[in-house]
Amino acid sequence: MIILGETKDGYIISLTSEEVAQLSGYSSRYSTGYTKPIIGSSINISELISRINSVEKLRDSLLNLKDKIHSINNSVTKGINLFSDITEIAKNDNSNKV
């Protein structure tokens, strides 16, 4: 992107075809569903940024959930190991009584 000039409320910019596609929410100008905009078209950048922010929040939530699942897994593993130890002690205790 190159800023070519300034207007009262913004800028006049030059974008590559690829940048226009990406700002339109597509991964590339060859993406299914993307159509080349006509002169005078506008791109709702605010909507794209809102979607990006939503994805980032979801990512943060998923990372937090991953950490919680990892912690639960560790607790369950410790519980299983403890149960296994108790079972082994009980078996040994019972075999000593015979």
Beta bridge partners of 3: 13
CB-CB neighbours of 34 under 10 Å: 17
Evaluate whether 48 touches 23 at the Cβ level (below 8 Å).
Answer: yes
Considering the entire predicted model, what is its pTM? Answer: 0.53
- What is the C-alpha separation between 32 and 25, in angstroms, rounded? 12
Task: Name the strand (E) or helix (H) holding 2.
Answer: strand 2-6
Tens-of-pLDDT digits for all 98 residues of the chain?
999 999 999 999 999 999 999 988 899 999 999 999 999 988 888 888 898 899 999 999 999 999 999 999 999 999 999 999 999 888 888 776 65
Question: Given this model, what pLDDT does residue 65 score?
Answer: 97
Evaluate whether 3 touches 12 at the Cβ level (below 8 Å).
Answer: yes
